[in-house]
Amino acid sequence: MSEDDILVTEGLTKSFGDFQAVSDVSIRVKRGAIHALIGPNGAGKTTCFNMLTKFIAPTAGTIRFNGRDITRLRPADVARLGLVRSFQISAVFPHLTALENVRIALQRSRGDSFDFWRSKTALDPLNGRALELLDSVGLTSFAYSRAGEISYGRKRALEIATTLAIEPELMLLDEPMAGMGHEDIDRIAALILRVSANRTILMVEHNLQVVANLSHRITVLTRGRVLAEGDYRTVSENHAVREAYMGAGHG
Ligand SMILES: Nc1ncnc2c1ncn2[C@@H]1O[C@H](COP(=O)(O)OP(=O)(O)OP(=O)(O)O)[C@@H](O)[C@H]1O
Ligand SMILES: [Mg+2]
């Protein structure tokens, strides 16, 4: 493992009964890069993410993060080490304001257990940092709006802010553009680029234009296996990749 690699998987495999959803996947993610994991529906992308964040245990293979074997660690442990997934369900409380949501994330990241009954003033010292985080995702003017009442794209920006509160070294994004219109896509793409400045990003994304614009490196999965890897140009000119996408109806 080179110093430059933040995440390395070797032979990562996941079987569900007789079915192998992920087969022998070896990936190297370079520190500081935006790395995309792409592939047709059912290729095994989310299953890979679930193994990386420890939501499911690999059937075989190893995962190393910053040189450390994390294959057997629990989700909370890998998060504490700096490998954090955004867009997790439950990331945002709809009845609380954007600011309150980020404050709670900050409080959690400091190891205090989240306590709804704690007085609001006890959280005030966190306001400054929370406002900074909201500003970094372009939500300053929505700080006092309820999370449930802002647009879909802004909710995702808020989810990114709550993830940034944990100060992840490696941030995993599963389909950040899913369900978004053009305007939101541009805004979130710019945001991803901005937050990638001092961290590594590994993302699953179906929007190939976004992948082309943002990614330094791309791994293509089909039927659970790595089909190709390289920069966008290399991958998009790959014959097998073109076939896999056309075969899956992606044109
Ligand atoms: N818990 C499970 N039990 C059985 N099969 C599963 C399970 N989870 C995923 N699979 C199967 O594993 C394969 C890979 O699924 P996965 O969700 O990882 O694909 P994906 O690349 O994320 O697809 P998509 O682009 O549609 O999100 C699929 O055939 C899926 O049906
Ligand atoms: Mg998926």
Indicate the residue among 141, 167, 193 that finishes a domain. Answer: 167
183 shares a domain with 162 = no
Can you tell me the distance from the alpha carbon of 29 to that of 36, in angstroms, rounded to the nearest whole number? 10
Give the distance (Å) from ligand 2 centre to CA of residue 206: 9
**Residues within a 6 A CB radius of ligand 1:** 16, 19, 21, 39, 41-47
Number of domains composing the chain: 2
- pLDDT grade for 108, boundaries at 50, 70 and 90: confident
Mean pLDDT taken over the chain = 89
The rounded percent of the chain whose pLDDT value lies above 70 is 90
DSSP state of 59: S
Check residues 249 and 232 and name the one with the higher pLDDT. 232
134 shares a domain with 78 = no
Give residue 57's Cα distance to chain centre. Answer: 18
- Closest-CA residue, ligand 1 atom 18, reads 44
Residue that the structure tokens 């493992």 belong to: 1
Can you tell me the distance from the alpha carbon of 201 to that of 30, in angstroms, rounded to the nearest whole number? 9
C-alpha count within 13 angstroms, C-beta hemisphere, residue 6: 21
For the CA of 25, the nearest ligand: 1
* Domain CATH number, residue 223: 3.40.50.300
Average pLDDT on 198-202 reads: 95
Q: Provide the pLDDT for residue 125.
A: 76
- Closest-CA residue, ligand 1 atom 30, reads 42
For the CA of 43, the nearest ligand: 1
- Residue span of the structural domain in which 57 resides: 1-82+168-251
6 shares a domain with 75 = yes
- State whether residue 177 is helix, strand or coil: coil
- pLDDT grade for 250, boundaries at 50, 70 and 90: very low
98 shares a domain with 161 = yes
Give the distance (Å) from ligand 1 centre to CA of residue 17: 13
153 shares a domain with 108 = yes
Give the distance (Å) from ligand 1 centre to CA of residue 47: 6
152 shares a domain with 138 = yes
pLDDT at 237 over 90: yes
- Closest-CA residue, ligand 1 atom 1, reads 16
Angstrom CA distances, 10 to 7, 44, 65, 77, stand at: 10, 15, 12, 20
Indicate the residue among 120, 138, 167 that finishes a domain. Answer: 167
Which helix (H) or strand (E) segment holds residue 21: the answer is: strand 19-25
pLDDT at 117 over 80: no
pLDDT at 58 over 90: yes
DSSP state of 196: G
218 shares a domain with 119 = no
Average pLDDT on 185-202 reads: 92
Residue that the structure tokens 């007085």 belong to: 119
Q: Provide the pLDDT for residue 83.
A: 95
Q: What is the 3-state secondary structure (H, E, C) of 111-158?
A: CCCCCCCCCHHHHHHHHHHHHHHHHHCCCHHHCCCEHHHCCHHHHHHH
Q: In a 10 Å sphere around its CB, with 0-12 CB exposed, 13-18 middle and 19+ buried, how is residue 142 labelled?
A: buried
30 shares a domain with 136 = no
Indicate the residue among 167, 183, 217 that finishes a domain. Answer: 167
Give the distance (Å) from ligand 1 centre to CA of residue 168: 26
Q: What is the pLDDT of residues 91-107, one digit of tens each?
A: 689 999 999 999 988 88
- Closest-CA residue, ligand 1 atom 16, reads 44
179 shares a domain with 56 = yes
